[in-house]
A and B are shown apart, each in its own frame.
Chain A
Amino acid sequence: MVAVAEPQQAPPQVSQPGPQQGSRPIYRSKALIAGGIVLAWLVLWLVFRNVGTLSLDASALTPLHRWINSVNDAVGASRNSNPLFLYFFNEIRFVIDEFVTFVQALIAQPSFGRPVPVIGWLGVVAIAGFVSLVVAGWRVALLAVAGFVFLGLQGLWQESMDTLSLTLAAVVISLLFGIPLGVWAGLSDRAHRVITPVLDFMQTMPTFVYLAPLTLFFLIGPASATIATLIYAAPPAIRITAHAIRSVPHNTVEASESLGATWQQTLVKVLLPSARKTIVLGINQTIMAALSMVTIAALIDAPGLGKTVVKALQTLDVGTAFNAGLAIVVLAIVLDRVTTAATERRKLPRWAMFGGLGVTGVAVYLSYTYLWAAEFQSDVEIGSSIRQGATAVTEWVQDSLPVITGGFKDFVTLALINPLQALLAESPWFVVALVIVAFSFLIGGLRPAVVSAVCLGLLVATGLWQDSMITLASTLVATILVMVLGVVVGVWMGRSRRADRVIRPVLDAGQVMPAFVYLVPFLALFSASRFTAIIAAVVFAAPVAIKIIADGVRAVSPATVEAATALGSSSWQTIVKVQLPMARRALTLAANQGLIYVLSMVVVGGLVGAGALGYDVVAGFSQGQLYGKGLAAGVAIVVLGVMLDRLTQAAAKRWTN
């Protein structure tokens, strides 16, 4: 089993002077081989340029694409007669719709014949504060109350509550399925093997691809939006639960068994409680993922803040979009801090418990009865100042920076993107495929080489080879930029607590702020271009990489750093010779996650000039006859993701061992 992935033996060394040990010559000979491959590639590219590139015009289709279209049409045509719809999808839709509508009726929408929801803003704020107090303590409770009041002050109370309702519903349903599935995958290796690729698929398949079909299955409304959200949001819960169950120490389980516990007793009394802390982190990730879907779900009429963002963009109203985006960020930060703090063990004193319960009860009652507590009165509204501020900043940026930024764009495009894209997309497909397989072999041995070969075959089958290569080129450039940023900022944060405290919230915001909000100024700075798409991806992906690297650098044993300092290392030497090498597990993880996050922005890139796969998906969502092509492009993105993920993992394994 392990033997397959064993390193290739290096040829015998003759000319290796000095006391170096075995591993270095292997690297050197590998570097030589890699250099040879690249050289051969360059030569073949010169000779066979633009031959066999398998290009396909923007509006051209392959038989596969047409076939998918016809399947899609057939499904649509049969939806009123097919029993699968009548008794299965319709039932699911009904249940989810009822659930979401109920939550909305409670906190967001006028309901039960009342002009306002059952619980008004005062009640919601009180409940948020109380729940936070119980699970997360005083400080976080204050943050939650402040955050929710801020939403009201932004003039976005109802929209925020709609978003919150939908997010909560999607999260609850995700967990309802996700945690049992995660437990199963945690207990059974076979289940784990089956579930993992499905989760990969769910997370990398662009939402745009299944947005339209979802409305076919579950109609337009909360159900479709919820399901779209949970397809993306459930995988972290499943993955992390499985991981949590797997990492419960074996001896704890054994101890329970040795006392004669049954299987169920061990699960309920040992595994689940021991894994609780980690599972809560999974819930946290699920909530964040659900919030990141808010704007996309708005494209199929999901209520809430996403709609405000999408609408504002029709008129390039960055101020309004930013205000709504900020509300999403505030929601995300509150929910994140509450769930993160919930992993700690805490016990509230009795009096606080009952006092809090009393205050909350009164607040809910007031918000049910009195108008002032039900509807957020915006006398002290700050939303318009935020809007004006954001607009002013955007205008300033758009007016004064393009001179510099345009040059930067041209430089990166000419020096980095174009050459890479030329090599990948203008060489004959079989040359590129061979090169990639050869590199996979060099990096990870036989298994990654086989995976890459299969993936490349699938890319050819989608009929979108050249688009895939163009996207691959942009993805690689974006990942390089992400890693550069990740190392620079990550090391800084890892070495300075103060930097960490200041930068971390900015990173959080970068991750949750809907990309749509910053696309407009980016378009002004860099025009519609591949570079704009790359920058958008970097904004989204860099925070993850930075955080991982910062944590990795911080985790380097202080004793080692101290020893290095004692030997007289300069800061630079400490970073380069001690901290980074010791944090290489974090570095590889950052590269892997960076890649995956960059890929998840391919579709957004399609909206700002990236073309290729991203545009194919967007167009497929917008035009019926391009649907099949869009789906194929979605699959191509998934395939690229799987290939790059397995490759980086193999490289990471090789490098960290």
Chain B
Amino acid sequence: MARHNVLGAVLVGALALAGCSGAKVGDSSSGAAGDCGTFNLAINPWVGYEANAAVLAYVAEKELKCKVTKKELKEEVAWQGFGTGEVDAVVENWGHDDLRKKYIDEQKTAVSAGSTGVKGQIGWYVPPWLAKEHPDILDWNNLNKYADKFKTSESGDKGQLLDGDPSFVTNDEALVKNLNLNYKVVYGGSETALIQAFRQAEKDKKWVIGYFYSPQWLLNEIKLEKVKLPEYKPGCDADAEKVACDYPDYDLDKIVSKKFADANGPAFQLVKNFKWTNEDQNTVAKYIAEDKMKPEDAAKKWVEANGDKVKAWLPKA
């Protein structure tokens, strides 16, 4: 008897609960995909890229009614995805001559879709306090003078040059050797390690010199200063062993899959036409990284403030 009572009470209670009304699933109609189809957008793991992608995705969804699928991938894997048809576009590419050769020239699965308008710069940076107190440090010729100051537990009796993200080929070991610098390259191993190092260096006035790049959201927070290396001339970095010059400026571009380009749909048009400036990207990147906005909201904010720029990207009907 008792068990029937319990069971009954439970069921009655539950049904009574169910009886309380509430909004039912399916009451509001779900948005249907538009005529643009699916747009597979790779998201490479840095904030600047995320800014490009967020704005493109927002416009594609809102203006072109595309169904945007974001895929969070490292560069190498993203490029691989062009061949398998899983990635349509990479929207901020830093050089990557090796990948270009492999996927554009050899496998012919990818094509370039032009510049993003953003200029990329790679080099050696120091925190602002250091540049201010020792302005001459911004010339590589004076680096040996300060090598002692940069010593750490990792670099032994030499100065430490902190390298970071393994995603990018650096010439730093060759540079140190060929410029006769009394430094040792220490591999931080991640962007996180670099940012943390620079942040602390600025806060506690510590001596740090390291590999970095712009645009990068951190530069909104801390204005790192670039050290001048011997000027880049085309071809001076041809032999990786003998490099003794600065990194070239990068025209950051967009890469799309061959299939996506050939189909020439509205999403491809949008990607092809997409072009903005370092300043634009920094604005959106700041929304995301420092104001902790969701990428969608950051994109919305920027797009609403820059309607004319966006209009120029839309496919001409």
Contacts and interface: CB of A to CB of B under 8 A. Distances in A.
Chain A partners chain B: yes
Interface in B149-193: 152-154, 156, 162, 165-170, 173, 185-193
A59 B46 contact: no
B189 A611 contact: yes
Contacts of A625: 98, 169
A372 B23 contact: yes
Given A370-B23, A413-B153, A220 B86 contact: yes
B239 interface: no
B289 interface: yes
A529 B153 contact: yes
Contact of A608 (B169, B190, B195): B190
A219 B86 contact: yes
Contacts of A369: 18, 24-25
A531 interface: yes
Contacts of A300: 73, 77
B196 A216 contact: no
A317 B98 contact: no
Find the residue from B77, B107, B167 having the highest chain A CB count within 10 A.
B77
B312 interface: no
Contact of A621 (B7, B74, B188, B199): B74
Interface string A104-128: 0000001001111000100000000
Interface residues of B, number: 74
B288 interface: yes
Interface string A605-627: 11111110011001101111101
Contacts of A379: none
A623 B14 CA distance: 57
A523 B167 contact: no
B72 A310 contact: yes
A403 to B, nearest CB: 9
Contacts of B219: none
A359 B14 CA distance: 7
B22 A372 contact: yes
Interface string A401-437: 0100000011001100010000000000000000000
A528 B186 contact: yes
A414 B289 contact: no
B314 to A, nearest CB: 28
A362 B196 contact: no
Interface stretch (A192-200, A265-273, A350-358): A350-358
B154 A529 contact: yes
B15 interface: yes
B18 A365 contact: yes
Interface stretch (A72-80, A279-287, A452-460): A72-80
Contacts of B187: 58, 606, 609, 611, 615
A76 B192 contact: no
A313 B192 CA distance: 7
B23 A57 contact: no
A349 B6 CA distance: 13
B277 interface: no
Contacts of B167: 622-623
Contacts of A349: 3
A524 B200 contact: yes
Contacts of B26: 114-115
A133 interface: no
Nearest to B164: A528
Given A76-B83, A115-B26, A528 B153 contact: no
A368 interface: yes
Nearest to B85: A219
B25 A410 contact: no
A350 B7 CA distance: 10
Given A315-B217, A355-B10, A608 B189 contact: yes
Contacts of B153: 409-410, 413-414, 418, 529, 531
A87 to B, nearest CB: 16
B23 A371 contact: yes
B80 A216 contact: yes
A580 interface: no
A50 B317 CA distance: 69
Nearest to A215: B77
A316 interface: yes
A371 B24 contact: yes
Interface string B10-51: 110011011000111111101000000000000001110010
B155 to A, nearest CB: 10
Given A58-B173, A402-B204, A607-B192, A220 B10 contact: no
A372 B24 CA distance: 8
B77 A351 contact: no
Given A366-B17, A414-B153, 13 more contacts: A76-B80, A216-B80, A220-B73, A310-B72, A311-B72, A320-B292, A374-B25, A519-B192, A527-B200, A609-B193, A611-B187, A619-B166, A622-B168
23 contacts: A57-B173, A59-B240, A113-B30, A115-B26, A220-B86, A221-B86, A299-B45, A299-B72, A314-B289, A315-B217, A355-B10, A369-B25, A370-B18, A370-B25, A402-B200, A409-B153, A519-B190, A527-B152, A528-B193, A611-B187, A622-B75, A622-B168, A623-B98
Interface of B: 2-3, 6-7, 10-11, 14-15, 17-18, 22-28, 30, 45-47, 50, 71-77, 80-81, 83-84, 86-87, 98-99, 102, 106-107, 152-154, 156, 162, 165-170, 173, 185-197, 199-200, 204, 217, 240, 288-290, 292
